Amino acid sequence: MNSRIILSTLCLSLVFGQYDYSLEDLNSSSEYYQQNVGTSFFQGEVTLHYFGHYN
Amino acid sequence: MYENLISNGYDQVKLIGVGKSQHMNNISNWTNGNDTPVCADQSPYPTWNGWGASQRDLFVLDHEGNVVFHENVTSGLPSDLESLVIDLVSQIPGDSECTDGDINNDNPCNPWECWEGQWIEMIIDCPEQMGVPCEDGVYISPAEGECCSICMLLGDLSGDGIVNVLDVVAMVNLVLSGGYDLVADLNSDGTLNVLDVVLLVGIILN
């Protein structure tokens, strides 16, 4: 079981390569709130990533 | 633009906001009024650095995780961005609706076969409907689950493709029982009697 998880993670890393991350969703209104999201989380979908902040 | 895409049914698009942990004290400024995921990259900000991102950079990735768009959008979104995203969505492979090799034979005259994950309609050309003559025979209605009539040799009650004494025996039994079979009605008079037996014997002897 552990080897399968490691292998799956490795495969996802190879597929998505550089442009991936896994960060906690902090928006309490989001359906993914408190889940770790990123490119591979939405595998098979088109993703838009906006880098910014509000002071 | 994102809300417009979602409202038009493009639910295979996800927008994610990526900030920095040092700026997340005022995260409500970012999340108020929307339900898109918002994340905070932790110092030393490996995500920002790994992506080569700057403040107000927008990345668009296709369904395979390839970057197809990267621009700083401080001055606004490109006018063709929405069409780009719609085009990317159209490239997402559809879900397979069936398994290759599956066959739906609910209607034997209109069967469907699964090919490359999609149902494909099969065309059945029945000889009788195509006008193919049934030489020395008669078309018999198809059995349940079958579509096309079968051309049966007249007198071939056994269905083995030849006319012989076995068929004579079967015909005599049928006459004696008062039954009827279109294949046995050699003179096509709508009844089964000794006349048909005589004709069948004559066919065999000739």
Q: Is residue B52 scored above 90 in pLDDT?
A: yes
Whether B81 and B98 share a structural domain: no
First vs last Cα of chain B: how many Å apart?
86
Complex-level ipTM beyond the 0.90 threshold: no
CA distance B45 to B30: 19
Whole-model pTM: value is: 0.55
Question: Where does chain B show beta strands of DSSP type E?
Answer: 13-20, 38-41, 57-61, 67-72, 103-104, 112-115, 118-121, 137-140, 150-153
Whether B27 and B40 share a structural domain: yes
User: What number is the average pLDDT over the span B87-115?
Assistant: 84
Range of the domain at B113: 94-124
Helix axis angle, B194-205 relative to B165-177, nearest 10°?
Answer: 180
The total of structural domains in chain B comes to 3
Whether B69 and B120 share a structural domain: no
pLDDT tens, residue by residue, B167-192: 999 999 999 999 999 999 999 999 99
Whether B158 and B137 share a structural domain: yes
Name every chain A residue with its beta carbon within 8 A of the beta carbon of B72.
Answer: none
Query: Does the CB of B8 have a partner CB in chain A at under 8 Å?
Result: no
Whether B175 and B111 share a structural domain: no
DSSP state of B90: H
Q: Would you tell me how many other CB atoms lie within 10 Å of the CB of residue B40?
A: 21
- Single-letter amino acid code for the residue at B188: S
The angle subtended at Cα B18 by Cα A15 and Cα A17, nearest 5°, is 15
Indicate yes or no: CB of A27 within 8 angstroms of CB of B55: no
Q: Which of B90, B114, B148 marks a domain boundary?
A: B90
Whether B80 and B100 share a structural domain: no
Mind telling me how many Å the CA of B123 is from chain A's nearest CA? Answer: 35
Residue A47, SS3 per DSSP = strand
Beta-carbon contacts of B7 under 8 Å, excluding residues fewer than 6 positions away, are none
Which residues of chain A carry a pLDDT beneath 70?
1-17, 54-55
What CATH number is given to the structural domain containing B186? 1.10.1330.10
